[in-house]
């Protein structure tokens, strides 16, 4: 793993999409924008049966949190009123039923992810009821991946055991940083000893994979303090690590207004933290998956990268085949075929749609032919680090060299930096080991929508 220099990271440190989709969600349209997604659901039902070409993934958004984390940019509802969980569970049941009416009952789900908010806001009984409800509507085979995001402050070893009994086999622990001053600054105090105990318990229980989330660029973080967190995390040895750069957008996210600009580390410090993280995980034996993920060599994500089976969806990198995604809950985003659909972002609008017996999809997008071509290229870069011209040409009936003539000229500059290898004769663009660390910047070359002034400040920075 060739870790890039701080100078290179600094020069490429610009706002850019994370490419959990292409086009990105800021390009979805309100109103009629949802129609392509609704039509795609009907088309999926028409393909139901043994010949169905795509498996199905499920995402469930549970927006409730007991306390506010100041860095948070998620769609959430801060409350200690746990009685709100019951009506929301009823909402999810109604929404799942509306989907089944459109696509048919019992379709096989290969992957389930509960996100938030904080899914562990639900009681164990409510989580068990949620999974039982999903089993009524869909088929969840024993070999599926069933993941839940866990706020370490809301669980103990006994509760982890109950989560496993309910059917979850993967955990994602939100750590962010272990430094006490940083934790106080972002209003999320969870001592190292607490997380260590949970990790030990999860391993004893036998979860298939344990993920830890980290954020660099938080208030009061310094390269030295973050180095201590990195040492503590690598000592815990989670199966996977997701490393995100904090995007400070207080004009968009009210919670972030509690963070003073002067408390944030500057650009050079952020770059040093990112470079240090890359080096620390390399030295600890982790495989760099791409952009923001690291995994132990024996983890399924690392195996998928070695075998060229990586995919990317709204939850990040995935080992699952490219699949349709049904998303339940407030603000959740789904994908079916060549279309995206996003639910209403407020609980009131979400419930109003369900009361009217209609899916709460508020906005969406049907992909154009150009979108599909560019999505194929961008996802090939993000997941395999390689674009084969011939496969794109056969799949989309274009001449790659002429269609992307301008983009290939821009890529020549990346090649001069040692970030990509371009072989026009063989028809291949290959991301180099160093280029993997700035793969977002490479993928951005093919993003048509970044040519308009609407984009830029809406995204997190690459470094």
Give the model confidence (pLDDT) of 292-347 as tens digits. 899 999 999 999 888 888 888 787 788 876 789 999 999 999 999 899 999 999 99
Please tell me whether 349 is known to bind a ligand: no
What is the pLDDT, as a whole number, of residue 86? 96
Please tell me whether 204 is known to bind a ligand: no
What is the pLDDT, as a whole number, of residue 457? 47
Cα gap 153→148, rounded to integer Å: 15
Cα gap 215→228, rounded to integer Å: 14
CB 274 within 8 A of CB 4: no
What is the pLDDT, as a whole number, of residue 455? 46
Give the model confidence (pLDDT) of 15-39 as tens digits. 788 888 899 988 998 878 889 999 9
Give the model confidence (pLDDT) of 223-234 as tens digits. 999 999 999 999
CB 284 within 8 A of CB 18: no
Please tell me whether 247 is known to bind a ligand: yes
Please tell me whether 213 is known to bind a ligand: yes
Q: Over range 247-253, report the average pLDDT.
A: 89
Confidence of residue 1 (pLDDT cuts 50, 70, 90): low
* Structure tokens, 232: 């503590």
What is the pLDDT, as a whole number, of residue 307? 86
Sheet arrangement for strand 428-431: 386-388, 428-431, 420-423
Closest listed residue to residue 306, CA positions, set 280, 285, 288: 288
Please tell me whether 333 is known to bind a ligand: yes
Cα gap 91→381, rounded to integer Å: 38
Provide the whole-model pTM.
0.90
What is the pLDDT, as a whole number, of residue 273? 92
Percent of the chain residues past pLDDT 90, beyond the cut: 73
Give the model confidence (pLDDT) of 133-162 as tens digits. 999 999 999 999 999 999 999 999 999 999
Give the model confidence (pLDDT) of 173-208 as tens digits. 999 999 999 999 999 999 999 999 999 999 999 999
Number of CB atoms found within 10 A of residue 370's CB: 12
What is the pLDDT, as a whole number, of residue 146? 96
Cα gap 334→38, rounded to integer Å: 11
Give the model confidence (pLDDT) of 359-414 as tens digits. 999 999 999 999 999 999 999 999 889 999 999 999 999 999 999 999 999 999 99
Please tell me whether 149 is known to bind a ligand: yes
Please tell me whether 73 is known to bind a ligand: yes
Q: What is the 3-state secondary structure (H, E, C) of the chain?
A: CCCCCHHHHHHCCCECCCCCCCCCHHHCEEHHHHHHHHHHHHHHHHCCCCCCCCCEEEEEEECEECCCCCCCCCCCEECCCHHHHHHHHHHHHHHHHHHHHHHCCCCEEEEEEEEECCHHHCCHHHHHHHHHHHHHHCECCCCCEEEEEECHHHCCHHHHHHHHHHCCCEEEEEEECCCHHHHHHCCCCCCHHHHHHHHHHHHHHCCCEEEEEEEECCCCCCHHHHHHHHHHHHHHCCCEEEEEECCCCCCCCHHHHHCCHHHCCCHHHHHHHHHHHHHHHHHCCCEEEECCEEECCCCHHHHHHHCCCCEEECCEEECCCCCEEEEECCCCEEEECCEEEEECCCHHHHHHHHHCCCCCEEEEEECCHHHHHHHHHHHHHHHCCEEEHHHHHHHHCCCHHHHCHHHHHHHHHHHHCCCEEEECCCCEEEECCCHHHHHHHHHHCCCHHHHCCCCCCCCCECC
Query: Phi, psi at residue 128, to the nearest 5°?
Result: -65, -40
Number of CB atoms found within 10 A of residue 348's CB: 8
How distant, in Å, are the alpha carbons of 22, 64, 156, 325, 343 from that of 121? Answer: 31, 6, 13, 24, 21
Please tell me whether 386 is known to bind a ligand: no
Closest listed residue to residue 358, CA positions, set 28, 34, 57: 34
Ordered domains of the chain (ranges, CATH): 1-23+368-463 (1.10.10.920), 25-326 (3.80.30.20)
What is the pLDDT, as a whole number, of residue 309? 84
Closest listed residue to residue 267, CA positions, set 71, 18, 462: 462
Per the DSSP assignment, residues forming a β-bridge with 421 are 430
């Amino acid at each position: 793993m060739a870790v890039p220099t701080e100078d290179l990271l600094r020069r490429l440190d610009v706002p850019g999409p994370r490419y959990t989709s292409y086009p990105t969600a800021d390009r979805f349209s309100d109103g009629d924008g949802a129609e392509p997604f609704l039509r795609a659901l009907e088309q999926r039902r028409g393909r139901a049966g043994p010949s169905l070409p795509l498996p199905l993934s499920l995402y469930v958004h549970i927006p409730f949190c007991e306390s506010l984390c100041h860095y948070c940019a998620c769609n959430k509802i801060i409350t200690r009123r746990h009685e709100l969980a019951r009506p929301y569970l009823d909402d999810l049941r109604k929404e799942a039923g509306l989907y089944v009416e459109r696509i048919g009952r019992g379709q096989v789900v290969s992957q389930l992810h509960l996100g938030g908010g904080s899914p562990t806001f639900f009681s164990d009984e409510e989580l068990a009821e949620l999974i039982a409800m999903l089993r009524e509507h869909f088929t969840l085979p024993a070999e599926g991946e069933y993941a839940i995001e866990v706020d370490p402050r809301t669980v103990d070893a006994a509760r982890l055991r109950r989560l496993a009994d309910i059917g979850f086999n993967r955990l994602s622990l939100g750590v962010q940083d272990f430094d006490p001053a940083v934790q106080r600054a972002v209003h999320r105090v969870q001592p190292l000893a607490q997380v260590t105990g949970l990790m030990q318990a999860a391993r004893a229980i036998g979860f298939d994979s344990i993920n830890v989330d980290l954020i660099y660029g938080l208030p009061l973080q310094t390269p030295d303090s973050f180095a201590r967190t990195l040492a503590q995390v690598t000592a815990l040895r989670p199966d996977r690590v997701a490393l995100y750069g904090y995007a400070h957008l207080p004009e968009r996210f009210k919670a972030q207004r509690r963070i003073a600009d002067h408390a944030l580390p500057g650009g050079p410090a952020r770059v040093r933290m990112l470079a240090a993280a890359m080096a620390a995980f390399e030295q600890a034996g982790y495989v760099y998956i791409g952009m923001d993920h690291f995994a132990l060599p024996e983890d399924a994500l690392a195996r998928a990268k070695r075998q060229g089976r990586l995919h990317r969806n709204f939850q990040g990198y995935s080992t699952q085949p490219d699949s349709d995604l049904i998303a339940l809950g407030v603000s959740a985003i789904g994908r079916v075929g060549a279309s995206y659909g996003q639910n209403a972002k407020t609980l009131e609008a979400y419930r109003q749609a369900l009361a009217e017996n209609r899916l709460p999809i508020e906005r969406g997008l049907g992909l154009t032919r150009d979108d599909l071509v560019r999505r194929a290229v961008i996802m090939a870069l993000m997941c395999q680090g390689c674009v084969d011209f011939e496969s794109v040409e056969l799949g989309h009936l274009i001449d790659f060299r002429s269609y992307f003539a301008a983009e290939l000229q821009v890529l020549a500059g990346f090649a001069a930096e040692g970030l990509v290898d371009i072989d026009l004769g063989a028809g291949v663009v290959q991301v180099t080991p160093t280029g993997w660390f700035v793969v977002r910047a490479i993928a951005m070359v093919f993003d048509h929508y970044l040519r308009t002034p609407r984009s830029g400040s809406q995204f997190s920075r690459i470094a």
